[in-house]
Structure 1
Amino acid sequence: MFAVRSLVGLVLSGVLLVAGCSSPPPVPSGMSRVSSVAPPVSSSAAREPVTVVLDPGHNGGNALRPDVINAPVPAGRGKTKPCNTTGTATDRGYAEHAFNWDVAQRVGSLLEAQGVRVIYTRPDDSGVGPCVNERAAVGNRAGAAAVVSIHADGSTAAGARGFHVAYSSPPLNEAQGEPSVELARAVRAGLSSFPVSNYLGSKGLAPRDDLAGLNLSERPAVLVECGNMRNPAEAAVMSSADGRQRYAAGIAAGVVSFLREHGGF
């Protein structure tokens, strides 16, 4: 289980109160009754909010600080990678970092409406970084029930289109095993109204060993490439508010489905 429910017990002076009792027990001689009304008891068990970390890929200020984003950082499996990159863009100039940020905010709003505690790996779309290893650390420190990194691709291959969901493989810890695979499948199902990738992965899933944020995660984690920004049809969907809301709804539905299967709800 990656989410914990807490049950609160209520003990009232060693006396078990049973609903429907018509009258309280008699008071012994020489004693006075303090109160004949029991305090209200919630009909549902109290629950700790489940935490989900959303990682909008890249950042709006990355291009201004190549010294920062090109610096090598740990990437897992004994390798290093640049701290971050600038991301891609549509042919008309709509930047991936802006798409990622907008979709993440929409996903977060949908999850919060379900009672989920949402943490983002960056606070805005105008900063630099954080580095990929720090993004993974955010989810680890939060003890997240799920971590979802949101991206869009920039393939120039002819006809390349469709989304895919990446997960760490071969797994480096228990969370990267079946929990991450199940999260990937749930998010894929949530995005089923979109075409799956015809150039990466298989049937919308992509096991990867080269993505630092996944390699370094100790929580169930996936990276979603929502589509190819260089494909004109997909670029048009990504550039529209309605399209971004559709992506967000699909991702959120997948996350909620995963949480319900794993005791988060």
Structure 2
Amino acid sequence: MSYTGPDFEPPQPRRSPLRRPLTVAVAALVPGALLGWGVYAAVGGPDDGDGGGADRAGAVRTSAAPSAGASAAPGEADGKKPAGSSPAPTSGKPSASRPAATGPLKGKVVVIDPGHNPANFRHASEINRKVNVGTHWKECDTTGTATNAGWPEAKFTLDVAHRLRDLLEKQGATVKLTQDGDRSYGPCVDERARIGNEAKADAAISIHADGSGAGNRGFHVIMPGPVHEGAADTRAIVAPSAELGKNVAGAFVRVTGSAPSNYLGDGTGLVTRTDLGGLNLSTVPKVFIECGNMRDGTDAALLTSGSWRQKAAQGISDGLTSFLSR
């Protein structure tokens, strides 16, 4: 996802003073998960975000139509509502969950948040308006980034979300999506958090792809930092979200073979941020995953591959399952 805008102001990488002790803790949690990438270490990054990479140059806040190359690639505000409220979905409700099967995740509720919306570019004024994210005001949403060939992040996130939903439902989980291509735009970042809260989700995950510079490669998982201000209070979810993030990151490495980000997280693939409404307003364990960098040719080749996206969904599913089975 491109993190210039709403919930994605670019964080500035820095080393955490807790890195050494956390390295030992993570090594015990995900033994061998990083394959050839060494010991997995948790790190507290400067900012946090509703999907935030180091460089959000690929994000667009205004209505720019997707590139014509998109088809060739593989693979709220009206005068009657308060200025800070999110728009209602086109269907009048968030994407409904489907009947859960019997399995190890029976009784568990997972909310999947596919970042952005393929139609956001048609609603510039709506997605650019500000909503309250607890600590401050940010834009409702962004269009997201895209590959250099024009394939949009919003289509990537929906595809992975569908694959992930199928995998989780086969294990008995009840799965809800914040949007399923059934809305004219959004939802806004505050509503995305609210959907997970109202579902009383056991875990929530927001799916994105980054829009950083060429040469910046790999995935990273964004976890909420401690925030207690305004409507935001993450104190109860910081610890479980960190556990969720470590499980997802370890499984993602193992299943996809992708390395953690080489430009954020000090090689751990774990970043903590406190500026993202989707995390700040959550009352349930939640993380964001940036599956790769759409603006890097090597990463883009993976992100536009259906077989790789299935691996990505499997890795996320395995991480969620490990967390929910604890």
> TM (normalized to structure 1)?
0.78
Partner in structure 2 of residue 8 of structure 1: none
- SS of 2:311's equivalent? helix
Partner in structure 1 of residue 286 of structure 2: 221
CA contact (8 A) 1:97 1:125 kept: no
Rg larger for: 1
Q: CA deviation at 1:123?
A: 2.5
CA contact (8 A) 2:130 2:139 kept: yes
State the percentage of identical aligned residues.
48
Partner in structure 1 of residue 262 of structure 2: 198
Partner in structure 2 of residue 90 of structure 1: 147
Give, in whole Å, the separation in 2 of the partners of 1:208 and 1:201. 11
The one-character-per-residue Cα deviations of 1:8-57 (angstroms, maximum 9, x if unpaired) are: xxxxxxxxxxxxxxxxxxxxxxxxxxxxxxxxxxxxxxx96210000000
Matched, 1:162 2:218: yes
Matched residue count: 214
Which amino acid in 2 is paired with 1:184? G
The one-character-per-residue Cα deviations of 1:233-259 (angstroms, maximum 9, x if unpaired) are: 110111011011011010000000000
Partner in structure 1 of residue 115 of structure 2: 57
The one-character-per-residue Cα deviations of 1:189-208 (angstroms, maximum 9, x if unpaired) are: 11112110011223010000
Give, in whole Å, the separation in 1 of the partners of 2:113 and 2:189. 10
Relative distance call for 1:228 and 1:253 in structure 2 (3 A) is same
Which amino acid in 1 is paired with 2:249? R
Partner in structure 2 of residue 136 of structure 1: 193
CA contact (8 A) 1:100 1:151 kept: yes
- SS of 1:73's equivalent? strand
Give, in whole Å, the separation in 1 of the partners of 2:134 and 2:292. 26
Partner in structure 2 of residue 207 of structure 1: 272
Partner in structure 2 of residue 6 of structure 1: none
Which amino acid in 1 is paired with 2:186? G
> TM (normalized to structure 2)?
0.64
Relative distance call for 1:176 and 1:103 in structure 2 (3 A) is same
Q: Which stretches in structure 1 are left out of the alignment for 5+ residues?
A: 1-46
Give, in whole Å, the separation in 2 of the partners of 1:162 and 1:256. 22
Relative distance call for 1:163 and 1:125 in structure 2 (3 A) is farther
The one-character-per-residue Cα deviations of 1:174-213 (angstroms, maximum 9, x if unpaired) are: 4422100000001001111211001122301000011110
Matched, 1:248 2:313: yes
Q: Tell me the C-alpha RMSD between the 2 structures.
A: 1.6
1:223-242 maps to which residues of 2 (within 5 A)?
Answer: 223-242=288-307
Give, in whole Å, the separation in 2 of the partners of 1:173 and 1:151. 21
Give, in whole Å, the separation in 2 of the partners of 1:243 and 1:177. 30
